[in-house]
Structure 1
């Protein structure tokens, strides 16, 4: 069935992950008269659109949703069969790997580089961890960063003290605090990990996805449209200004032009610079300063703890962390440029030799994420003569770990072993360094900067240098060597950009009849688009 795309809107948003949803939400709150359309290459998975797949109670439906997120080469088990990645690279449910070009000769590359293609983006699959950056992680040229982070917490529904009463969580934090806190300022001491999690009316825990960021304000906005299976192939630029997008309907294969006063590209750290490149927007820093977080993991079993009755029952299954599982945080500091995510598990990921089944919460997984030594040569290049599965310029990854990165990994190894010794008995012999790209926290490829000096792609308001009305969003906007989970920060930056557009919409008179016509028909078109 041919869908009805609008001729024009005030704001076209490319991508429906947490940052694209943040633009839609802020614009719905601050510029409700504006016609706003979100275009997403992937399908709708849930009702409401953008919900976290862990909130899907039916395991069969959950697997189907994950598989539907995996692009054109799905791998998750389904009734139709299993499609393993032939290279045997590790890939997680709900994501799909970059099939080739992920490593160049003599380089480390990013063999685990993965993405999700669905309404809600990676926000339908993430761990929901929302720590705040500190020290060199912070963006020094943004004086209002803390207020923006506050607003990001509101949009994501962040709980700063989730699972405080989880069995053994106090033991874990006390032991980690004794080990790490004496050398730290008060605000960077061991604490609960802030999580985007909430309790539903039925008492169950639910994880925030883009549905939470959109919120009822956006869903009830008659001037808002969401189009699934709608791939934006090009941003239209005329006389130095973004004026619309070319959209390919992945249902009927047709292409449409949608004019827009502002365009926001929030398509992830690989596909945002790819779309700009395909559109002829190619500032010198585009795709450069690519930042993955070198990551290592380890596990221990808590020692010297009594079995707590409340830990005997866990409803978690394989869907989400339950209240029996605590999540603790060892924050980044400049003297130790990595951050620790410490998660109590319901069962050991490694078979134990003794006969006692461990109580849920006594098996503790440790994950340490390192800040990268940023360098211009870590980059995504795009090929003008070859295309990827979606018909876009084919990407090639250039990425190497520097001597400083290896030194940081060595220090992180020492820190994770300190944490493990403080907590209990090792499970396994050594911490495992994960394959580059495994963090899924890719940053920097459309980085923000204070001035246009060819080392950044966008200004502090997220507008692309030299292209009026074109904004970028996502983890790729973060310019610092951030080691903590980046979603909270990227949503905060999206808030700033959305406020800027809202102010400009208020200041600039409406200048197109097509936009008015779009507003008049938005309600009927929205259901066709998938909202």
Structure 2
């Protein structure tokens, strides 16, 4: 039996949280709908899409991270504090660098721009931070944004109580609140970070990945199929509308066609525009308005915590290698101070900013400030029609610069993070350091949503392409605003809107007695050397 059907109702390209959102919403509202999810990378965790932090055995966890690193699967990715501070260009475990195309001539570029290639996407490796966007971060033309964010929190299993028992958490919050909360609106005050995480009955933390978004309802749906190691090379268009996809089976090298009236491209903010470009779908704003969050990091040792040593346990969570001592604290974005802050115990942080205190684990914490970008259409990804990348798709070149406003806000962020750090402890360094551009992994804007088809956006408010009906885009690239907060919650919320639109159309088709809205005309020929498994 072929791994691929000849036709389906919906094809989803990518298995990260937003692709999983489309599958989940359709499974809940239209059970039995034929949905095929295609992922270029391997399955590295169980259930498929689960966070690798949940793998108890450290060797198995490391192997899962290596298998997620695409063409650099055998490269060393573990960075040490000194390497981070020296600005060495290293990928985090579970990811691989974009490489030669990370910066155009004369540009700042995103030298550590990175991706992952595995079932679950980056959500198999992320920190799980899910703050709501505020003020200028919000998509102002969506009247239902708050309801969508609430639904995204349900799908991701977001809670602010994951570290409520950590003995140093309240101390950090209270000290920062005394420094920052004066004059802030209640919802902008310092507090625990909302996280996509829950506790097992034995007390262990379990980090959410795409597996949580899919949920049992999707996995049990007879219409849902997830196929890994399946590289989509082209979105097919007939008569100006979505007609399906062309996919290469990476286990056999064969090429297949899957016909579908609805195609969701949820690769990531770099590879989604790449696939559209390769498919000849090239709206003016495609790949433009690229934005990342410049990241400033500082480390401090908490003051006056020795007496609390007896209150905290240095024993790690069972199987998870994580001790709940100082938790994760959130400083929300405001328009006046356009930074998003998170203060994390070191073993919860993906960036090793310092060595922990072996005598009192959790007493050294890392502070991170993310800065919102000054948006420009000139910050973009260019794709080559001559050169290809390691996957055979058009080679990208990132054209990206920090503006004068960006540099000004970065200087402000460096001053603020030192002040915040001194409010809670003793700095371990004389000054903060700015991570190489691209370190946040929060790339956005390249398939941005808009209210009008005026050339400054790629898709409608329901995430369907302006130019190609039936093709939807998903992921952080859809976010049209300059954000400083972690973007996953927002991108999942936007995906909910798109998924509901597809479900509505499928319901309409059923009422009219038909499940397909496309004509069965012959498709364009397959790529040379490919075959159609019938």
Give the TM-score, by structure 2 length: 0.91
Q: 1:66–1:301: structure 2 CA closer, same or farther, 3 Å change rule?
A: same
Worse-matched range after superposition: 343-352 or 294-303? 343-352
Residues 24-63 of structure 1: matches in 2 within 5 Å?
Answer: 24-63=23-62
- Cα drift, residue 358 of structure 1: 4.4
Contact kept, 8 Å, 2:204 with 2:320, in 1: the verdict is no
Mapped pair 1:253 → 2:253: yes
- Cα drift, residue 3 of structure 1: 3.7
CA–CA separation in structure 2 for the residues paired with 1:4 and 1:112: 35
Residue 139 (structure 2) aligns with: 139
Q: 1:463–1:416: structure 2 CA closer, same or farther, 3 Å change rule?
A: same
Contact kept, 8 Å, 1:12 with 1:39, in 2: the verdict is yes
3-state SS in 1 of match to 2:308: coil
Q: 1:77–1:371: structure 2 CA closer, same or farther, 3 Å change rule?
A: closer
Mapped pair 1:462 → 2:470: no
Q: CA RMSD in A?
A: 2.1
Residue 303 (structure 1) aligns with: 303
Contact kept, 8 Å, 1:35 with 1:224, in 2: the verdict is yes
Residue 385 (structure 2) aligns with: 384
- Cα drift, residue 453 of structure 1: 0.4
Mapped pair 1:16 → 2:15: yes
3-state SS in 2 of match to 1:72: helix
CA–CA separation in structure 2 for the residues paired with 1:295 and 1:421: 19
Aligned length: 504
Residue 161 (structure 2) aligns with: 161
Residues 215-294 of structure 1: matches in 2 within 5 Å?
Answer: 215-294=215-294
Mapped pair 1:372 → 2:373: yes
- Cα drift, residue 173 of structure 1: 0.4
* Deviation sequence 1:370-428 (CA, Å, 0-9, x none): 00000000000000011110010110000000000001101111110110110111111
Q: 1:320–1:503: structure 2 CA closer, same or farther, 3 Å change rule?
A: farther
CA–CA separation in structure 2 for the residues paired with 1:400 and 1:54: 34
3-state SS in 2 of match to 1:5: coil
Unpaired runs of 5+ residues, structure 1, are 79-83, 516-531
* Deviation sequence 1:82-140 (CA, Å, 0-9, x none): xx9xx962211100001211112221000000000000000100000000000100000
Worse-matched range after superposition: 171-180 or 502-511? 502-511
CA–CA separation in structure 1 for the residues paired with 2:97 and 2:346: 27
CA–CA separation in structure 2 for the residues paired with 1:493 and 1:96: 27
Residue 342 (structure 2) aligns with: 341
Q: 1:447–1:295: structure 2 CA closer, same or farther, 3 Å change rule?
A: same
CA–CA separation in structure 1 for the residues paired with 2:475 and 2:5: 25
3-state SS in 2 of match to 1:152: helix
Contact kept, 8 Å, 2:243 with 2:518, in 1: the verdict is no
Contact kept, 8 Å, 1:13 with 1:37, in 2: the verdict is yes
CA–CA separation in structure 1 for the residues paired with 2:375 and 2:201: 45
Contact kept, 8 Å, 1:346 with 1:363, in 2: the verdict is no
Contact kept, 8 Å, 1:314 with 1:360, in 2: the verdict is no
Residue 4 (structure 2) aligns with: 5
Give the TM-score, by structure 1 length: 0.92
Residues 88-487 of structure 1: matches in 2 within 5 Å?
Answer: 89-305=89-305, 306-316=307-317, 319=320, 321-345=322-346, 350=354, 357-487=358-488
Structure 1 residue runs of 4+, over 6 Å off?
none
Q: 1:466–1:185: structure 2 CA closer, same or farther, 3 Å change rule?
A: same
- Cα drift, residue 512 of structure 1: 4.9
3-state SS in 2 of match to 1:225: strand
3-state SS in 2 of match to 1:290: coil
Q: 1:5–1:458: structure 2 CA closer, same or farther, 3 Å change rule?
A: same
Q: 1:513–1:275: structure 2 CA closer, same or farther, 3 Å change rule?
A: closer
Contact kept, 8 Å, 1:7 with 1:514, in 2: the verdict is no
Unpaired runs of 5+ residues, structure 2, are 78-82, 520-534
3-state SS in 2 of match to 1:368: strand
